Amino acid sequence: MAQPLPPLALAYHSVADRPLRDDPFGLCTSERRLDRQIRRLLAWGYELVSFGALVDRVLDDGGAGVAALTFDDGFADNLHALVPLLRAHGARATVFVVSRWLGERHPQPPYSPILTAGELRTLAAEGVEIGSHTATHPDLSALGYDDALAELAASKHQLEAVIDAPVDVVAYPFGKASAATLAACAAAGYHAGCRTSGSGSWEEPLNMPRQDMDNGATLLGLRLKRHDRYEPLVRTGVGRLPVRAIRSARRWTRR
């Protein structure tokens, strides 16, 4: 009997085709690569929902067979390149926006445009869930409770004013959150929050885990992340695997 698919949240950023030499922080995923990853998720049997819906399902029945595509920072290409892919596959997604970056350019290469307020409204109208990624993108784990609350509350209010709808999910910048961060998140009125790199727990709505999908992420990596095996392998030196093991792992991704 096949094992049920575990719940899965994937953390992307920009949807653009950029070579790594122009994208040193690995923020970009090409449309072609993202399309392949969506197709593989659907072939495995996942239902692609918003992050908020994923959290509800996890709390209700464990979330088996449900996955969320999430995109941090609020790149303009999340409207222009992502939405057509979502339509083509009948998928949902969540975009976590840094509210004070609206209409600006991203501060790191490739310095791509961030959504304008008008584009953000259009994105929400397309059925994409809008979440917070704070007001200014600080490391919340380095802030005390009051400063973290100010960041989280300001972003929530600013985004809600733009889209005229509730914003009740948040992604912590750099995937970092302390006990004070989680308390501030609850006080700011968020329903759910998430981290990155597999950190967090499916049993904590404000501390949910996501898996990073960086520039060049492969289908092998996706399968490992599906089972929360990627980060442990990286920490133990997966890069030193012999060629035979890598080929075997690639065959495994086709299952």
Q: Quick check: 184 and 149 in contact, CB under 8 A? A: yes
pLDDT digits (tens, 9 = 90+) for 204-238: 999 999 999 999 999 999 999 998 888 877 766 65
Q: For the purposes of burial, counting CB atoms within 10 Å of the CB of 19, is it exposed (0-12), middle (13-18) or buried (19 or more)? A: exposed
Residue 16 covered by a domain = yes
Q: What is the percent of the chain where pLDDT is above 70?
A: 91
Domain count for the chain: 2
Residue 255 covered by a domain = yes
The count of other CB atoms within 10 Å of the CB of residue 39 is 12
Q: What is the percent of the chain where pLDDT is above 90?
A: 87
What is residue 136's predicted lDDT score, i.e. its pLDDT? 98
- The residue segments making up the domain with residue 125 are 8-216
With both helix axes pointing from N to C terminus, report the angle between 179-188 and 145-163 in degrees, rounded to the nearest 10: 40
Q: What's the rounded mean pLDDT across residues 73-93?
A: 98
Same domain, yes or no: 73 and 141: yes
Residue 25 covered by a domain = yes
Please name which of 7, 3, 12, 40 lies closest in space to residue 213, comparing C-alpha atoms: 12
Residues 224, 230, 236, 237: is their CA dihedral positive or negative? positive
pLDDT digits (tens, 9 = 90+) for 91-131: 999 999 999 999 999 999 999 999 999 999 999 999 999 99
Residue 3 covered by a domain = no
| DSSP string over 42-89 | HHHT-EEE-HHHHHHHHHHH--TTEEEEEEEE-BTHIIIIIHHHHHHH
Same domain, yes or no: 80 and 204: yes
Same domain, yes or no: 50 and 79: yes
Same domain, yes or no: 171 and 211: yes
What is residue 243's predicted lDDT score, i.e. its pLDDT? 35
pLDDT digits (tens, 9 = 90+) for 29-79: 999 999 999 999 999 999 999 999 999 999 999 999 999 999 999 999 999
- CA max distance for the chain: 55
Same domain, yes or no: 125 and 31: yes
Tokens of 238: 């997966």
Please name which of 192, 171, 178, 193 lies closest in space to residue 145, comparing C-alpha atoms: 178
Same domain, yes or no: 201 and 255: no
Q: What's the rounded mean pLDDT across residues 175-180?
A: 98
Same domain, yes or no: 93 and 16: yes
Same domain, yes or no: 114 and 240: no
Please name which of 239, 214, 212 lies closest in space to residue 20, comparing C-alpha atoms: 214
Same domain, yes or no: 155 and 96: yes
Task: Give Cα 82 to chain centroid, integer Å.
Answer: 13
Whole-number Cα distances in Å, 102 to 75, 158, 214: 9, 10, 23
What is residue 237's predicted lDDT score, i.e. its pLDDT? 60
